[in-house]
Chains A and B, each alone.
Chain A
Amino acid sequence: MEITVNINGTDHTADVEPRRLLVDHIRTGVGLTGTHIGCDTTSCGVCTVLVDGTPVKSCTMLAVQADGREVTTVEGLKSADGLHPVQQAFSDEHGLQCGFCTPAMMLVGAALIEENPAPSDDEVRWAISGNLCRCTGYMNIVKAIQAAAAAASSDGDG
């Protein structure tokens, strides 16, 4: 089946099997390996991407369902202006260790601060509760997303 998915601003047209998972299409079809696979059961969230701006676990969406839609992966976070505030904040606040869950965590954080410019500790924890991390204990991830929100807000104000 021929599909066209806009990934990080570029249209990618491909002939895919109907059963092909979006995560496999992104990773091996398009070659963007920043999106990871961790559990096969929609539990861990390391495959999270943004579909039309909303976090979606790409192991539970078929590639054909993404036809005609806009997908953002970790590779699309950075802009001509430099790193996205969540990327900078994850590094500044030590919000990552092994880095395997990080792309997904940052995308969820980016989507959250679009909706909520000053999320509380609880609001961040609820937003990332579909994403597991085995290294950090979440403390610094929460700090990083809040710091990113603050940085994004001050950028907007300036």
Chain B
Amino acid sequence: MTDTTTTPPEIGGIGHSVKRVEDARLIEGQGNFLDDIALPGMLHMALVRSPVAHARINGIDSDAAMAVDGVLAVVTGELMAAHNLAWMPTLSGDTQAVLATDKVRYQGQEVAAVIATDPYAAADGAELVEVDYDMLDAITNPQQSLAEGAELIRDEKEGQTDNLAYTWETGDEAATEAAFAGADRVVSLTTHYPRSHPSPLETCGIVADVNSVTGQATIYMTSQAPHAHRTLFALVAGLPEQNIRIVSPDIGGGFGNKVPIYPGYVVATAASLLIGQPVKWVETRTGNLISTGFGRDYYMTGELALSNDGRIQAMRVDMLSDQGAFYSDAQPTRYRAGLFHVCTGSYDFPHAHIKCRGAFTNKAPGGVAYRCSFRITEASYLIERLIQTAAYELGIDPAEMRLRNFIQPEQFPYETATGFVYDSGDYPTALRKALDAAGYDELRAEQAAAREEGRLVGIGIAHFTEAVGAGPAHTYDIAGLKMIDSAELRVHPTGKAILKLGVKTQGQGHETTFAQIVAEETGIPSTDIKVIHGDTDDTPYGLGTYASRSTPVGGAATAMVARKIADKARHIAAHLLEAAPEDIDRDADKFFVKGSPDKSVTIQDAAFAAYTNLPEGMEYGLEDVTYYNPPNLTFPYGSYVVVVDVDADTGVWKVRRMVALDDCGVRINPMIVEGQIHGGLTEGFAMSSMQWITFDDDGNCIGSNFMDYLIPTAWETPRFELLETVTPSPHHPIGAKGIGESATVGSPAAFVNAVVDALAHLGVRNIDMPVLPDRVWEAIDSAGG
């Protein structure tokens, strides 16, 4: 492990595996999750969802539902329309139905809501709401959707004459085409990154408490971005922003699923406003899987122009994305395909051109950044699959192929063909270290011997580069809100502190790691710092936690505000030591006159003096706030090596080893970083092996519960071997880059590459995810193996 610690364990600054503060409540069942909240007079809401994918609504009969004991109201789209709330804006500038008024456009769409005194009564009522539908043909894939004569899904949308949701392109088309025309070889790969769902174990929910007398709206919700949600509530519902308080309590996992605003939130808030009592809505698991933000669903064709010796000269990508019925990707405004243009990956070549079309289908909307920074998972998957394909076609070892094309350490900062400026990296060292740990050369020898015996062994490599920490305000906003973030630090007279954040944990351990940043910068022990987050009345503004932006943006804000505090403390210490501020030095937690460490002032002494004994002209108190606008994204990377054994008779594959080297810059808390990597690798394994949301031809969602949507248990999940290198980000105050999503982004290609590698000698080049045994068997069978 690389040692980056500068403080002793009792201070617990950067580099210490400090035990988590949040554990104390969670291991005793004292967490406060959304469904644990109970307010006096609280009512319960259940949603009526469409059982069909595409149909016109003729009418809704609520009589039987209203007759259920305990049911107080049935809210329909008509009622919402009377308050101008039947439709709401999405995070991608489209509009989405809150409760359907004209027709339903996907199975599971919200049609009505039943409000009752008890959740069982609400569910009974929802069963009895009768909706009269006129069936329409369902369109279940984007190819069908964009075909001539396809039924118009978004017939309500002014000016919409087809099912095209958007088009987007980037890069230099002419230069790219010229490079392809002159290339020795062109290698291509067509693959589908299937629809997946983040499905945190806690579903989405809200307790809306709107006081009709004071106008105060206190909204408890499962929100990864409480401040952004407050502003959007103000803009959509017309509520005055000072009267909206969003409280995001303990969150049972987010993974991007809790970034959008969902219809249930809006209906519950409206119902509380109309009825004058708090209203709770907690999504069912099926509701979560069939209606809230999915991830991926990209059909991709990628091509590389290559020289005969394996040098990449250009990349060309054509994509088609399945957006579902509403375009509601949660992503920066100017990038319609998220940050997909990071698809040039870790490689040095001058030209790329990417074009993408998004299509409406009769499927749930979403397109959230499922444990990834806006479509980076798809991008990383494509280039890492493509380079392996190229290696086979050119007869070059896949590891050697990467080494020949890597951006070299001395090239950083490196501007990619699509305009990202990578901050730092040493890719060859990382890959070689991972290969050595895996015993790559021995594995290749074993593979060759195994093939002689008719056994299938595969070695898969992925070397990914992420672009996280959105982002610089000149480029990045969501729904017009710039993607800055903030931290406020108050040091009390006894030297204990409160740190307030604009970001919000969902299990990443902010209450521990952000305190460590303050400890590093001020010398206040991390255990003396309470971290507050998630309550918009009590924290400074920020865009929230997703896209691995907490440490790159919120963590930077924390370091910067702590430096302001430390600097004021230094001036106070100078006053106490009767010296000039510029003559004051500091070690972990003490100030002293340079050269005289015997006489010192602790940070706690300085804090007390901040309220009792100040130099002339200095303002009382020891607190400050910083809003951080990052100068650039950060670019974590990693080298993953997977070894699989494939049973040729059944297509079943097993992970023998998974070696994962991550470089996320400086690690604040190594224990927590490794935990994040374990989780991310598991989700990558899940997507590559079993997790997908599919639909039948009528638009019925297959994968609407955890019996059909498979999530790996401990039994299937591989064991992981972790490695690291540390290449600090030069522009981040503490050199950190973000780690929450790296492993989910990087690992799917490594797993799939491993299975394909086992079959490569048969001529197999691709198996789409999830790599199910029957797909493997078919690949072997059709290759004549």
Interface status of B26 (Cβ within 8 A of chain A): yes
Interface residues of A in 1-31 (CB under 8 A from B): 17, 19-20, 24, 27-28
Q: Are B706 and A43 in contact (CB under 8 A)?
A: yes
Which segment, of B139-147, B629-637, B673-681, faces chain A?
Answer: B673-681
Known: A36-B252, A39-B285. A98 touches B507 (CB 8 A): yes
Interface status of A56 (Cβ within 8 A of chain B): no
Interface status of B639 (Cβ within 8 A of chain A): no
Q: Are B120 and A19 in contact (CB under 8 A)?
A: yes
Residues from chain B with a CB closer than 8 A to the CB of A37 are: 35, 282
Interface status of B714 (Cβ within 8 A of chain A): yes
Give the Cβ gap from B675 to chain A, nearest Cβ, in Å. Answer: 5
Interface status of B29 (Cβ within 8 A of chain A): yes
> For the complex, what is the distance from the CA of A39 to the CA of B286, rounded to whole Å?
8
A40, A43, A98 pick with most chain B CB within 10 angstroms: A98
Q: Interface readout for A116-141 with B: 1 if CB under 8 Å, 0 if not?
A: 00000100111011111111111111
Residues from chain A with a CB closer than 8 A to the CB of B284 are: 40
Residues from chain A with a CB closer than 8 A to the CB of B30 are: 34
Q: Which residue of B lies closest to A122 (CB)?
A: B715
> For the complex, what is the distance from the CA of A129 to the CA of B28, rounded to whole Å?
22
Interface size of A by CB at 8 A reads: 58
Interface status of A58 (Cβ within 8 A of chain B): no
Q: Are A100 and B509 in contact (CB under 8 A)?
A: no
Interface residues of B in 521-541 (CB under 8 A from A): none
Interface residues of B in 457-494 (CB under 8 A from A): none
Q: Are A41 and B707 in contact (CB under 8 A)?
A: yes
> For the complex, what is the distance from the CA of A34 to the CA of B38, rounded to whole Å?
14
B250, B285, B720 pick with most chain A CB within 10 angstroms: B285
Residues from chain A with a CB closer than 8 A to the CB of B682 are: 136-138
Known: A36-B202, A98-B506, A137-B682. A75 touches B28 (CB 8 A): yes
Q: Which residue of A lies closest to B709 (CB)?
A: A43
Q: Which residue of A lies closest to B25 (CB)?
A: A99
> For the complex, what is the distance from the CA of A44 to the CA of B679, rounded to whole Å?
16
Residues from chain A with a CB closer than 8 A to the CB of B38 are: 28
Known: A41-B705, A74-B29. A96 touches B253 (CB 8 A): no
Known: A125-B714, A134-B200, A137-B720. A100 touches B252 (CB 8 A): yes
Interface residues of A in 70-85 (CB under 8 A from B): 73-75, 77-78, 83
Q: Are A142 and B27 in contact (CB under 8 A)?
A: no
Q: Which residue of A lies closest to B23 (CB)?
A: A91
Q: Interface readout for A60-94 with B: 1 if CB under 8 Å, 0 if not?
A: 00000000000001110110000100010011101
> For the complex, what is the distance from the CA of A70 to the CA of B20, rounded to whole Å?
32
Residues from chain B with a CB closer than 8 A to the CB of A138 are: 678, 682, 713-714, 717
Residues from chain A with a CB closer than 8 A to the CB of B22 are: 99
> For the complex, what is the distance from the CA of A75 to the CA of B297, rounded to whole Å?
42
Known: A92-B19, A132-B706, A134-B255. A97 touches B683 (CB 8 A): no
Interface status of B36 (Cβ within 8 A of chain A): yes
> For the complex, what is the distance from the CA of A27 to the CA of B29, rounded to whole Å?
11
Give the Cβ gap from B257 to chain A, nearest Cβ, in Å. Answer: 10
> For the complex, what is the distance from the CA of A98 to the CA of B28, rounded to whole Å?
14
Interface status of A38 (Cβ within 8 A of chain B): yes
Interface size of B by CB at 8 A reads: 57
Q: Are A137 and B678 in contact (CB under 8 A)?
A: yes
Q: Which of A27, A96, A130, A137 makes the CB contact (< 8 A) with B26?
A: A96
Residues from chain A with a CB closer than 8 A to the CB of B672 are: 94
Give the Cβ gap from B617 to chain A, nearest Cβ, in Å. Answer: 47
Q: Are A91 and B713 in contact (CB under 8 A)?
A: no
Interface status of B33 (Cβ within 8 A of chain A): yes
> For the complex, what is the distance from the CA of A128 to the CA of B713, rounded to whole Å?
8
Give the Cβ gap from B281 to chain A, nearest Cβ, in Å. Answer: 14
Interface status of B199 (Cβ within 8 A of chain A): yes
Interface residues of B in 199-215 (CB under 8 A from A): 199-203
Residues from chain A with a CB closer than 8 A to the CB of B679 are: 97, 134-137
Interface status of A112 (Cβ within 8 A of chain B): no
Q: Are B678 and A136 in contact (CB under 8 A)?
A: yes
Q: Are A97 and B29 in contact (CB under 8 A)?
A: no
> For the complex, what is the distance from the CA of A96 to the CA of B201, rounded to whole Å?
13
Q: Which of A19, A36, A126, A137 makes the CB contact (< 8 A) with B33?
A: A36
Residues from chain B with a CB closer than 8 A to the CB of A100 are: 31, 33, 200-202, 252-253
> For the complex, what is the distance from the CA of A115 to the CA of B282, rounded to whole Å?
37
Q: Are A74 and B253 in contact (CB under 8 A)?
A: no
Give the Cβ gap from A95 to chain B, nearest Cβ, in Å. Answer: 9
Residues from chain A with a CB closer than 8 A to the CB of B20 are: 91, 94, 96
Q: Are B27 and A106 in contact (CB under 8 A)?
A: yes
Give the Cβ gap from B236 to chain A, nearest Cβ, in Å. Answer: 28
Q: Are A90 and B705 in contact (CB under 8 A)?
A: no
Residues from chain B with a CB closer than 8 A to the CB of A55 are: none
Give the Cβ gap from A34 to chain B, nearest Cβ, in Å. Answer: 2
Q: Can you give 18 A-B contacts (C-beta < 8 A)?
A: A32-B29, A36-B252, A38-B201, A38-B202, A40-B284, A44-B201, A90-B27, A91-B19, A94-B19, A97-B675, A97-B679, A98-B202, A100-B31, A101-B201, A131-B713, A134-B683, A134-B711, A135-B679
3 smallest beta-carbon distances between A and B, as pairs = A34-B29, A98-B507, A100-B252
Known: A78-B28, A100-B201. 13 other contacts (CB 8 A): A27-B36, A28-B38, A35-B29, A38-B252, A40-B286, A40-B705, A41-B706, A83-B28, A91-B23, A96-B23, A99-B25, A106-B27, A141-B714
